[in-house]
């Protein structure tokens, strides 16, 4: 098996989901005898959060590049950045290392294309929902995305940063997400992309009115494929 590097801590709650998902899938695929060879860089989110709020993405890139380079030195053969919003600096990190950096939106887009999904709504933080860098990555896989509703953008940004990043799961926020997804369904959109690795904490990804593409689970599963040699 190949060693996989994870850049986590953004937040540690979703990093825990990655760690559990990857190991459970490796155990399942290997008959229960093996666990995943992983190396983790868990970043201090206080530093990252302040930089993103100040729009200091140069600093974010420096932190993630340093983390990726440390993972490469420790023997990682590929890396996952365990946060959608941090993929804003993906290209800079990718250029600073010599091993594959697996993009979360490519993982999601590839699965949606395989499933034949042609239209979807993207839910996540403000920079994921409203800026073009993430949306364009998904569109390249043949998915038409519903325009972001700015009221939803503000609600989701608050829920993610003020609650989920702190490990808080509130019933009111669960109801808010149900209402948003119901409205998406009424618009005739065929699927929902959870473009935030914490949103699965308050969205039922398995029994919903629309197919839910959980970026955390999909990205982690692509990591499993890399570990087991199914992905080149």
pLDDT tens-digit readout, 100-123: 999 999 999 999 999 999 999 999
Give the CATH number, domain containing residue 87.
3.40.50.1860
Instruction: State mean pLDDT over 3-26.
Output: 96
Same structural domain for residues 123 and 199? yes
Distance CA 193, CA 52 (A): 22
The predicted structure's pLDDT at residue 62: 95
The predicted structure's pLDDT at residue 30: 93
Residue 232 lies inside a defined structural domain of this protein:
no
The residues with which 115 forms a beta bridge, in sequence order, are none
Q: What is the chain's percent helix, strand, coil content, to nearest 5? A: 55, 15, 30
Tally of domains within the chain: 2
- Domain boundaries, position 9: 4-104+218-227
> What is the percent of the chain with per-residue pLDDT over 90, rounded to a whole number?
87
Long-range contact set of residues 207-211: C-beta below 8 Å, sequence gap at least 24 = 208/181, 209/181, 209/182, 209/185, 210/181, 210/184, 210/185, 211/115, 211/117
* CA–CA distances in Å: residue 91 to residues 26, 94, 168: 29, 5, 32
- Diameter of the chain measured on Cα atoms: 50
Q: What three-state secondary structure class fits 214?
A: strand
Copy the structure tokens of residue 65.
């590049």
The predicted structure's pLDDT at residue 13: 93
**155 CA to centre of own chain:** 19
The predicted structure's pLDDT at residue 136: 95
Q: How confident is the model over 155-198, as pLDDT tens digits? A: 999 999 999 999 999 999 999 999 999 999 999 999 999 999 99
Sequence-distant (6+) residues with CB within 8 A of 193 are: 108, 112, 120, 121, 122, 123, 124, 138, 213, 215
Same structural domain for residues 37 and 112? no
Same structural domain for residues 109 and 93? no
The predicted structure's pLDDT at residue 151: 87
Residue 190 lies inside a defined structural domain of this protein:
yes
Instruction: State mean pLDDT over 200-215.
Output: 93
Give yes or no for residue 143 having a pLDDT over 70. Answer: yes
The predicted structure's pLDDT at residue 48: 86
Question: Worst-scoring range by mean pLDDT, 41-50, 79-88, 132-141, 164-173?
Answer: 41-50
Distance CA 121, CA 143 (A): 10
pLDDT-based confidence at 232, cuts 50/70/90? low
Q: How confident is the model over 37-48, as pLDDT tens digits? A: 999 999 998 888
Distance CA 75, CA 153 (A): 39
Distance CA 124, CA 111 (A): 18
The predicted structure's pLDDT at residue 66: 98
């Amino acid at each position: 098996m190949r060693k996989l590097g994870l850049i986590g801590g953004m937040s540690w709650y979703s990093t825990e989901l990655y760690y559990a998902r990857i190991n459970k899938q490796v155990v399942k695929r290997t008959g229960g005898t093996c666990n995943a060879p992983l190396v983790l860089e868990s970043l201090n989110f206080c530093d990252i959060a302040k930089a993103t709020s100040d729009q200091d993405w140069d600093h974010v890139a420096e932190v993630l590049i340093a983390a990726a380079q440390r993972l490469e030195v420790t023997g990682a053969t590929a890396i996952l950045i365990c946060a959608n919003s941090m993929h804003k600096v993906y290209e800079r990190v990718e250029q600073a290392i010599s091993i594959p950096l697996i993009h979360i939106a490519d993982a999601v887009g590839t699965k949606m294309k395989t499933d034949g999904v042609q239209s979807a709504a993207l839910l996540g933080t403000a920079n994921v929902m409203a800026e073009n860098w993430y949306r364009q990555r998904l569109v390249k896989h043949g998915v038409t995305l519903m325009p972001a509703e700015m009221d939803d953008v503000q609600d989701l940004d608050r829920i993610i940063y003020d609650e989920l990043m702190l490990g808080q799961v509130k019933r009111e926020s669960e109801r808010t997400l149900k209402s948003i997804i119901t409205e998406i369904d009424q618009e005739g959109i065929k699927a929902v992309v959870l473009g935030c690795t914490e949103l699965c904490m308050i969205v039922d990804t398995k029994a919903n009115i629309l197919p839910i593409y959980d970026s955390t689970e999909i990205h982690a599963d692509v990591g499993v494929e890399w570990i087991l040699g199914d992905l080149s």
